[in-house]
């Protein structure tokens, strides 16, 4: 018995499913998880001594790789002065100023402890600001495990064939309208049929929880126009894309200004974190200035703020987005070369350091087309790559992450592993 299998057996006795987040269970690939002993740069090592090139990166936060020196040093220095205060600290102000500077749509921001908290709070403040109740979301977009948004979601619930969750009363989702992504006509129809009733539209501007696909030309601009015309708020969930796809996130790339934005992952440098912000007049609805209550014992805690600030400043210092694009382009060239020899239907998507290989023919533009993927083929390739020391997310419906720590040699080695895995089909 391996050390990982022993730990998993113990975990299953005391932790539901043996994991603290469902996708980690490897059930979608008919396997069992390995347990990590340590991580550094682009590599992780399991408790049995196996080394892997990691393209999960803690599901996105590790944009500089694992345990980058600048982040570890910042944490070590900050920890000597205290771990949590429950009262304001200077690092919260620095983080707020940096976020507002890099994302001009955000005039005021509040820190929370997860992406789920961020999206949940966006919905609450949007309903209060507009005096309306209905929410529009899009099939396949995952916004955390918020009751009102667990309708036709992506990520974990999609992986396990549960587009909604038990324990969510029908009344909680009765006010949520879920539409196909990229369908302008249905979007307009939804606004027409619910005129003056929609509080907000929430979406991932680059959906990255049902694989990775992109908005058609004008889809986001039409969405912005419809929200403005109807008086609804536009919420961008940039928990994944914020400060990863560009310095100013997806909204910088597309030139669309949302009313509210949810952030997370990278701004915590690997520690639990979330944030949400937007127009000052909306954010002023929050207590203690306004009637919308929102609070958190560890919100803005000094460790997460120090780690996030160190990571973001290092990204700017090294022009990390340029480096990530270069590594992403190399990865794409190698992947496409490997796919040329594969005699199966595959579609490869990439934007910057985000990527996904669908085991389905294109085009893939929404959840329905993503779900054409052959999950058995994905599972076989996943295990073949893992055996060769390359770790991708254990689900067809997750996005891969490249970090600035991935070297050209790492990517070349990955290409060999993928080519051999595909040949094995």
For 8-42, b where at least 16 C-beta lie within 10 A, e where not — what string?
beebeeeeeebbeebbbbbbbbeeebbebeebebb
Catalytic residue, chosen from 54, 265, 366, 391, is: 265
Q: How many CB atoms lie within 10 A of CB 110?
A: 21
The span from the CA of 122 to the CA of 235, in Å, is: 7
DSSP for 111-169 reads EESSHHHHHHHHHHHHHHHHT--EEEEETT----S-GGG-SS--HHHHHTT-SS-TT--
Is residue 265 among the annotated active site residues?
Answer: yes
User: Token pair for residue 246?
Assistant: 């560009």
Is residue 147 among the annotated active site residues?
Answer: no
Which residue, among 55, 39, 46, has the nearest Cα to 212 in the 3D structure? 55
The span from the CA of 134 to the CA of 352, in Å, is: 34
Pairing label, strands 108-112, 36-40: unpaired
User: Token pair for residue 13?
Assistant: 């006795």
Pairing label, strands 108-112, 274-278: antiparallel
Catalytic residue, chosen from 142, 213, 254, 391, is: 142
Three-state DSSP class for residue 263:
strand
Catalytic residue, chosen from 54, 139, 237, 366, is: 237
Which residue, among 409, 60, 58, 121, has the nearest Cα to 260 in the 3D structure? 121
Handedness of CA 333, 335, 336, 342 (dihedral sign): positive
> In a 10 Å sphere around its CB, with 0-12 CB exposed, 13-18 middle and 19+ buried, how is residue 127 labelled?
buried
Could you give the angle at which helices 302-317 and 69-79 cross, rounded to 10 degrees? 150
Is residue 284 among the annotated active site residues?
Answer: no
The span from the CA of 33 to the CA of 31, in Å, is: 7
Q: Among all chains, which residue has been given the structure tokens 């780690």?
A: 307
Query: Kindly report the CA angle at 201 between 157 and 267, in degrees rounded to 5?
Result: 65
Q: Among all chains, which residue has been given the structure tokens 């043996």?
A: 18
Read off the DSSP letter of residue 216.
P
Contact 260, 284 (CB under 8 A): no
Read off the DSSP letter of residue 89.
-
Which residues are catalytic, by number?
A: 142, 237, 265
């Amino acid at each position: 018995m391996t050390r990982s299998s022993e730990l998993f057996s113990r975990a299953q006795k005391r932790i539901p499913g043996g994991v603290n987040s469902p996708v980690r269970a490897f059930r979608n690939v008919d396997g069992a998880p390995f347990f990590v002993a340590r991580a550094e740069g682009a590599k992780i090592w399991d408790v049995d001594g196996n080394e892997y090139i990691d393209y999960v990166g803690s599901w996105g936060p590790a944009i500089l790789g694992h345990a980058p020196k600048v982040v570890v040093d910042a944490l070590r220095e900050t920890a000597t002065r205290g771990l949590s205060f429950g009262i304001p600290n200077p690092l919260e102000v620095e983080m707020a100023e940096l976020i507002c500077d890099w994302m001009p749509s955000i005039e005021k921001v509040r820190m929370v402890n997860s992406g789920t908290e961020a999206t949940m709070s966006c919905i609450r403040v949007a309903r209060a600001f507009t005096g309306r109740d209905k929410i529009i979301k899009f099939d396949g977009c995952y916004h955390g495990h918020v009751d009102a948004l667990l309708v036709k979601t992506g990520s974990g619930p999609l992986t396990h064939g549960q587009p909604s969750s038990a324990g969510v009363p029908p009344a909680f989702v009765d006010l949520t309208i879920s539409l196909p992504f990229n369908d302008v006509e249905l979007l307009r129809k939804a606004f027409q049929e619910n005129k003056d009733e929609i509080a907000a539209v929430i979406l991932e501007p680059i959906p990255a929880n049902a694989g990775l696909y992109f908005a058609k030309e004008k889809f986001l601009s039409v969405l912005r126009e419809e929200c403005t015309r109807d008086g609804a708020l536009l919420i961008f969930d940039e928990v994944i894309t914020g400060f990863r796809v560009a310095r100013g996130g997806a909204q910088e790339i597309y030139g669309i200004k949302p009313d509210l934005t949810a952030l997370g992952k990278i701004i915590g440098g690997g520690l639990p974190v979330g944030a949400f912000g937007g127009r000052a007049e909306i954010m002023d609805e929050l207590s203690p200035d306004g009637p919308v209550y929102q609070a958190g014992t560890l919100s803005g805690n000094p460790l997460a703020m120090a780690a996030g600030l160190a990571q973001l400043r290092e990204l700017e210092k090294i022009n990390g987005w340029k480096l990530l694009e270069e590594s992403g382009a190399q990865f794409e060239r190698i992947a496409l070369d490997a796919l040329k020899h594969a005699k199966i239907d595959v579609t490869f998507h990439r934007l910057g350091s985000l990527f996904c290989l669908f085991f389905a023919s294109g085009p893939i533009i929404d959840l329905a087309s993503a779900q054409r993927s052959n999950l058995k083929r994905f599972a076989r390739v996943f295990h073949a790559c893992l055996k060769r020391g390359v770790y991708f997310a254990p689900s067809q419906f997750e996005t891969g992450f490249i970090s600035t720590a991935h070297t050209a040699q790492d990517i070349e080695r990955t290409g060999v592993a993928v080519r051999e895995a595909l040949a094995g089909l």
